[in-house]
Amino acid sequence: MKPLTVNLDHLSSFVSGEELSYLSGECMKCLLQLEQGTGEGKDFLGWLNLPSSQPEALISDIKSAAASLREKIEVLVVIGIGGSYLGARAIISALAHQFETLMTETGKPYILYAGHNIGEDYLHEMLEVLSQKDYGLLVISKSGGTTEPAIAFRILKKHIEKKYGARKAAERIIAVTSKERGALRTLVDQEGYRSFIIPDDAGGRFSVLTPVGLLPIAIAGYDIGKLLEGARTLEKTTHSSVPLEDNPSARYAIARHALYRLGKKIEVLSNFDNRLIYFSEWWKQLFGESEGKNRKGIFPASVTYTTDLHSLGQYLQDGERILFETFIRVDSESHKLTVPEDKTDLDNLNFLAGKTLNEINKKAELATILAHIDGGVPNILVEIPLINEYYLGGLIYFFEKACGISGYMLGVNPFNQPGVEAYKRNMFALFGKPGYEEEAKKLKDRIE
């Protein structure tokens, strides 16, 4: 199979070869720090060797649980927030038929998501749909006490038990949670739900290749074996034993750090394939939550072209020169569709007759890259041959490894997220949660 590649050719007018060479030494130091577990966050490096170390028994158990639940349901609700759902959603949405909601028979359950917001209308309307469907729940939470998914699960648990009865409902609920502690683990033990373990040493945004991501992807009907195979390939090719010039994660980390040093504080992940929209959402969490600390970090944003060329494209071409782009380029499409000849040619498009939409899309991509370079926007090109489980697994691991290296190059701990707790403290205080009385008084004084 063709490899994932990182192309830095379009950086030459922005970053010198000397600068990239200078940063190679720092990169290797950080790569070794990551692999040897000598840096900050070393207790959360379980993801590093996951592709090659996942037991076959676990994969078989996941596949068995997925097949068993799939026989009972038309719809699966995945309950989680952040890393507990974004990775799975990224893969499932990339692989699913893009008009799945309008298809009558797919042979796969339709996947819905809950617990990633507190939208009252969203959940109310979901319950209206679930009242008419055979469904199951997959609740993913290390603690079971995270506010958004805990609220959603409480409401959906009541609904599914009312619909099927408590005993039969329990057969339609699977939990992915901690092995020994937390509210959800206690509930699993009380109710007898089938469950899988979230490893303590893999944080949420690095957990796609654990049961957190593998189970919903398997229930959705996709090949988790191929996903792990693709990730294993990148585990090998991004190892410190590989020369840096051949290591895609290292090359990417070096390039983005060089651009950051030049004042490029925003990275825009760009693609020309709608199937990668939720992959971009996962990527934004991965880098935003890993690097945005101590008043440092590259802000992650994303666009999908050619749609956004008619909106944000103006800013990218002509706005502040504080950003760079990373393009995910997919070489091939799964289908072929050509532009037909038209006798009248009123739209003046006969010059495209006989060409496939993929050919046209690739020309639009090249035109955009060249235009943005001319407009002062450096870009990095990450290329995969096509979208399937194998290459998506590789892409996941590629970005995870690069993120770990990048965080250390930046001088932050890439594996914690202290800033996430700020809004939670305020919210608990505003609701009068026991233990937050002092914060509540301070907020009340501020508001008044």
Q: Which residues are catalytic?
A: 289, 310, 424
Q: What is the CA radius of gyration of the chain?
A: 23
CA 168 to chain centre: 33
> 173-177 and 266-271 as β-strands: parallel, antiparallel, unpaired?
unpaired
Element containing residue 269 per DSSP (H, E): strand 266-271
The Cα 176–Cα 170 span in angstroms is 14
Per-residue tokens: 211: 């049961």
Q: Could you tell me how many helices (H) and strands (E) the chain has, helices first?
A: 17, 10
The Cα 416–Cα 396 span in angstroms is 19
Supply angle C-alpha 442, 147, 420, rounded to 5.
60
> 135-140 and 110-114 as β-strands: parallel, antiparallel, unpaired?
unpaired
DSSP states of 35-101: HHT-STTGGG-TTTTHHHH--HHHHHHHHHHHHHHHTT-SEEEEE--GGGTHHHHHHHHHHS-TTGG
Own/partner pairs, 161-170, CB within 8 angstroms, 24+ separation:
163/130, 163/131
- Tokens 């996903």 found at: 227
The Cα 227–Cα 262 span in angstroms is 36
Q: Is 440 helix (H, G, I), strand (E, B) or coil?
A: helix
Beta-carbon contacts of 51 under 8 Å, excluding residues fewer than 6 positions away, are 209, 228, 231, 232, 234, 235, 393, 397
- Residue 5, phi then psi, degrees to nearest 5: -130, 155
